A and B are shown apart, each in its own frame.
Chain A
Amino acid sequence: MRTDGATQRLMFAAALTSVVISALIVFTLFREAWTFVSGLLDTVGLGALIDGGAAPGWYPRNDRFDIITIVAGTLIVSVISVAVAAPLGLGAAIFLSEYASPRLRRWVKPVLEVLAGIPSVVFGFFALRVLGPDLIKPLFGTATNTNLLVTGVAIGILVTPLMASISEDSLRAVPLSLREASTGLGARRSTTVVKVVLPAAVSGIVAALIISVSRAIGETMVAALASGRLGQSPRTFNPTEPGLTMTAAMAQLAQGSDQVVGSGLAFQSLFFVGAVLFLMTLGLNMLAARVVRRLRNQY
């Protein structure tokens, strides 16, 4: 086979840009995060990262960077959103893959995929306008229209099509012969689904779950609009209260950066939070890839 060096080198360069981009992301994040940490060491000390005061919280303008506040906000929101997205998405996936007629499936699957493309800022506005005042407030008796619970539910709705789509793919990858064998032994369809198909597809479903969590952790616009705090928040572990997620804290820090109040450390904390967020999502994504490799059944 003849080859041609020039085009090959050009295309190799294109593939290498992805490595350059990753290196740039890691380099900028950790360099700036280190600037923040060393700035902390020079001034208020690392103790500012875990607020030990009587009313702890995330107050970057006052050099109080209680990381527990925003990590807790992020975790609460992600747990709620997965609690919404996992049953809905998996249920929809099982229905589409095991029960729906091919015709129905041909219609519903693309609709789900199109809905997965709705920009997240739209969900933020929806949470602010409808979900908060009309659903969550009357249902759970929350004091405010915007809080962590609304944020979690809205992100859950946003992630559901993703969860459904990935789970459906893995359910359909289970060979038909397994279902036929189960039916041949006299199992009901529901038994076949629960005892045969789901265990066979477990790697894909767990991966879908992990990817959904990762997506929920990184979701910014819904949290920035609907979590109920602007730029600062007291520490709270109560989902029905307003709070702050890591992503919302970042977006709001960046927004106020033209008129920085307080020390330069407030703006710099943006990079520290970004680095922590990056590590969390990277860890989850690598875990998802590992789960797929480890648990995948070979047919």
Chain B
Amino acid sequence: MAVSASTVASTRSAVEAALTGGRRDVKGIVFAMLLVLCMLASLLMLTVLLWDVVAQALPVFQKRSTGFLTNELASSPDKAGVSQGIWGSLVIAAFVVVLAFPVGIAAGVYLEEYATPSRLTRFIQLNIRNLAGVPSVVYGILGLVVFVKGFDGVTGGRSVISAGVTLAILVLPIIIITTAESVRAVPSGLREAGYGVGATRWEATRDHVLPYAAPGILTGTMLAVARALGEAAPLLLIGAITGRLATASDQGLLDQLRGKFTAMPVVIYGWANEVNRPGKKTGLTFEQLNSAAIVVLLGLVLVLNIAAIVLRNRFERKRQS
């Protein structure tokens, strides 16, 4: 269209004025205001939450500096720190990367590239969608029965191995669904070009489809790790420690992996239930300590989330233009 934006705007206002006789559309304005209020309210609540947490956390980082990050769980707010929580959460993230990434991506690619429309395929798809909606606490039951009790010889019972495997299973549907979606968005011309020069299905997938779908798949995997880092309910069922946790310094890595553990969200849950008495030396309370722990957890989770969403939007825009 060769009409400039300003012409459209002035014509539009002129036509509107003629149609409404210059009266204001009060109902419409009230409706629009209500909508703005809804959006502001939802954003405001979450802003208040973040603001409150950061404000509470500041004195902890000022008075305890890095001691808060390197100390272990303790009963005094002067000494307690989150190092064990950070370690547990990072190990869980590693399990998600090692177990859920390859299986999830392979399953997603299979469903889009290989599977023929059959009863079995439809059943698998339905099954994955339903798995994605299962509450996380139910995955905790699976972890408790299968990994803590069933395979305790391998996992060591209530250990970070059980937790890592359970959370890898929990995020698997997310990875499969986002992988399948981004593979579906790959133009079929790319595949056909590959087949045309004699590539096998796997060669075409590996060299043409996967590179094109990579940003979308990466977004899904980052969201999945963020989700795993924030989950507390399954860990409670598996038996993460909320109180004090003694780690012997001479333990090997395998013993540590098979021993008692905690993770950031569970530390936060435990501290939320602590008595709120200020520590003698620093005057800090567990409430403030907990806000600082939340800042650490949100740091991990939100950075991943933001990176994932920025990445997706950037590539979406690039493809459109």
Contact = CB atoms under 8 A, between A and B. Distances in A.
Interface of A: 1-4, 7-8, 10-12, 14-19, 21-22, 24-25, 28-29, 32, 87-92, 94-96, 99, 106, 108, 110-115, 117-126, 128-130, 157, 160-161, 164, 186, 188-191, 193-194, 211, 214, 217-221, 224-225, 247, 250-251, 254-255, 257-258, 270-271, 274, 277-278, 281-282, 284-286, 289
A144 B302 CA distance: 32
Classify the interface of chain B: helix, strand, loop or mixed.
Answer: helix
A10 B39 CA distance: 46
18 contacts: A1-B200, A4-B201, A12-B110, A25-B134, A28-B145, A28-B146, A29-B138, A99-B32, A157-B49, A190-B28, A221-B269, A254-B239, A255-B242, A278-B138, A281-B134, A281-B135, A281-B138, A289-B129
A24 B140 CA distance: 12
Contacts of B39: 91-92, 95-96, 108, 164
A186 B25 CA distance: 13
A19 B42 contact: no
A277 B137 CA distance: 9
A1 B188 CA distance: 14
A21 B233 CA distance: 19
The 4 closest A-B pairs by CB, nearest first: A91-B38, A218-B135, A119-B230, A14-B106
A119 B145 contact: no
A11 B287 CA distance: 48
Interface residues of B, number: 92
B246 interface: no
Nearest to B206: A7
Given A17-B103, A126-B52, A247-B233, A3 B201 contact: yes
Contacts, number: 272
Interface in B99-157: 102-104, 106-107, 109-111, 114-115, 123-124, 126-131, 133-142, 144-146
Given A92-B35, A113-B305, A258-B239, A121 B265 contact: yes
A129 B227 CA distance: 24
Interface string B260-278: 0000010011001100000
B269 A121 contact: yes
B124 A221 contact: no
User: Which secondary structure dominates chain A's binding surface?
Assistant: helix
B237 interface: yes
A266 to B, nearest CB: 15
Contacts of B273: 225
Contacts of A194: 31
B22 interface: no
Interface stretch (B210-218, B249-257, B290-298): B290-298
A254 B292 CA distance: 27
B181 interface: no
Interface string B11-38: 0000000010000010110011011111
Contact of B301 (A89, A118, A285): A118
Given A118-B302, A270-B141, 4 more contacts: A92-B39, A95-B35, A161-B42, A271-B141
Contact of A22 (B130, B242, B272): B130
A28 B127 contact: no
Contact of B38 (A15, A88, A119): A88
B141 A130 contact: no
A52 to B, nearest CB: 29
B167 to A, nearest CB: 12
